[in-house]
Amino acid sequence: MPEAAAARRKLVEVRDLRMHFPIYAGLLRRRVGAVKAVDGVSFDIHEGETLGLVGESGCGKSTCGRALLRLYEPTSGSIRIDGREIATAGFDTLRTLRPIMQMVFQDPQASLNPRMTVGSIIGEPLDEHTRLSRREKQERIHELMDAVGLNRAFANRYPHEFSGGQRQSIGIARALALNPRFIVCDEPIAALDVSIQAQVVNLLEDLQARFGLTYLFISHDLSMVRHIADRVAVMDLGRIAELAPRDALYEAPLHPYSQALLSAVPEPDPNAETRRRRIILTGDVPSPANPPRGCNFSTRCPRVMPVCREVEPAFREVAPGHFTACHLHDPAISQTAGTAAAPEAKSTADTHVQQGA
């Protein structure tokens, strides 16, 4: 599996993406700091695969997804989709790149304009980016509605007349209108009933098979991510803690944060469920405006070492295709872990090398 993935072309390449939101305070509204929602994230997504992005609330998953499509202005870093730079593209260039990258939003109610009919919501991107005749456009809208399983007769209805699952289908049809290659699914099932969630996820999988789509699937539903994703990235406070093929991650998570997160997934088998041992994290989630020195997880990590509070761990490949940012898996540090912290200067240099790679 890792070999097969590596052989495939990289569609999305993200390098050291940072998204800081400024905080203004005081009488003169001076900038006093920044919420580091995404703080140095690097990953690749291969063509045709689904990368799951998981993490607890407020860890920067959605911000990361939105910054990826330049719905926010990233603070720094590079985003390349299909070889073209997104992070610094000018407004007009960006607009012409929009058709290849789309997004399915979390709240299917709020993300559809209440004053537009379903037909015009789905058809608007066509007006903007294509020169179809009225008839061709109508045909395309009907095609898309068929593709997501909506009755064609609903084209003249308004979003509020639909159920949550149907609205999400409208959102998906809209995202598909311009034949995108990459879709960011920002918690597409979080606002839906459990009974509808499966429908939407199956729809996403069918569409991926039919159109060869590439997904970034953002979710906090670990079971659903296990079902849909090929590889999974675990995010903690603006950074990626671990990135690995799905099975490797779910069977043997390396980062203590991933271990804690996965231990929270309930088992369907009641016997196994009673034997399941949860890792309960203690301590507060640090503020993204004022993250701790060293590792972001050091305040809550059950296996914290002195070095963790001093040095930011590098994001390194510990097994083929399996990356993690943890001192426990840093050969240079884990050997000396019991005795003393590694010299800070050396490790910082190390960090730079790894992130640049």
Partner 1 sequence: MFTYTLRRLLLAIPTLLVISLVIFLLVDLAPGSPASQIPLTVPAEVRMRILEAMGANEPIHVRYLLWLKQFFVVEPLVWVDATFGTAFSEGMQRILSWQSRSPVFDVIVERLPQTLTVVGMAYVVGVLIALPIGIYSAYRQYSWFDQIGTFVAMVGFSVPTFFTGLVLILVFAVNLGWFPSIYNTSLRVTDWESFVAQVRQMVLPVAVLALYNASQISRYMRASMLDNLNQDYVRTARAKGLRERVVVLKHVLRNSMIPVVTVIALGIPTIFGGAIITEQVFRVNGLGALLIGAIQASDLPMVQTLTFIFAVLIVIFNLIADVLYGLLDPRIRYD
Q: Which residues bind partner 1 (CB under 8 A)?
A: 29, 66, 69, 71, 91, 94-99, 102-103, 105-107, 110-115, 124-125, 128-129, 158, 160, 171, 174, 178
- Give 105 or 257: the residue with its C-beta nearer to partner 1: 105
Burial of 177 (0-12, 13-18, 19+ CB in 10 A): buried
Please, what is the minimum distance in Å from the beta carbon of residue 119 to partner 1? 13
CB atoms closer than 10 angstroms to residue 147: 17
Measured CA to CA, the distance from residue 14 to residue 101 in angstroms comes to 14
Report whether 315 contacts 323 (CB < 8 A).
yes
Please, what is the minimum distance in Å from the beta carbon of residue 7 to partner 1? 31
Measured CA to CA, the distance from residue 312 to residue 296 in angstroms comes to 8
Please, what is the minimum distance in Å from the beta carbon of residue 113 to partner 1? 4
Report whether 35 contacts 21 (CB < 8 A).
yes
- Give 72 or 211: the residue with its C-beta nearer to partner 1: 72
- Give 103 or 150: the residue with its C-beta nearer to partner 1: 103
- Give 33 or 99: the residue with its C-beta nearer to partner 1: 99
Measured CA to CA, the distance from residue 178 to residue 176 in angstroms comes to 6
Beta strands per DSSP E along the chain: 10-25, 30-46, 50-54, 76-81, 84-85, 101-104, 182-186, 214-218, 231-236, 239-245, 316-319, 322-324
CB atoms closer than 10 angstroms to residue 65: 24
Please, what is the minimum distance in Å from the beta carbon of residue 173 to partner 1? 12
Please, what is the minimum distance in Å from the beta carbon of residue 3 to partner 1? 34
Report whether 75 contacts 20 (CB < 8 A).
yes
Distances (CA, A) of 283 to 261, 291, 331: 15, 14, 28
Please name which of 88, 105, 77 lies closest in space to residue 18, comparing C-alpha atoms: 77
- Give 96 or 202: the residue with its C-beta nearer to partner 1: 96
Please, what is the minimum distance in Å from the beta carbon of residue 111 to partner 1? 4
- Give 165 or 171: the residue with its C-beta nearer to partner 1: 171
Q: Output the six-digit token pair for 223.
A: 């079971």
Please, what is the minimum distance in Å from the beta carbon of residue 205 to partner 1? 22
- Give 176 or 237: the residue with its C-beta nearer to partner 1: 176
Measured CA to CA, the distance from residue 153 to residue 136 in angstroms comes to 17
Sequence-ordered list of residues with C-beta below 8 angstroms from that of 83, at least 6 positions apart, any chain: none
Please, what is the minimum distance in Å from the beta carbon of residue 96 to partner 1? 8
- Give 160 or 275: the residue with its C-beta nearer to partner 1: 160
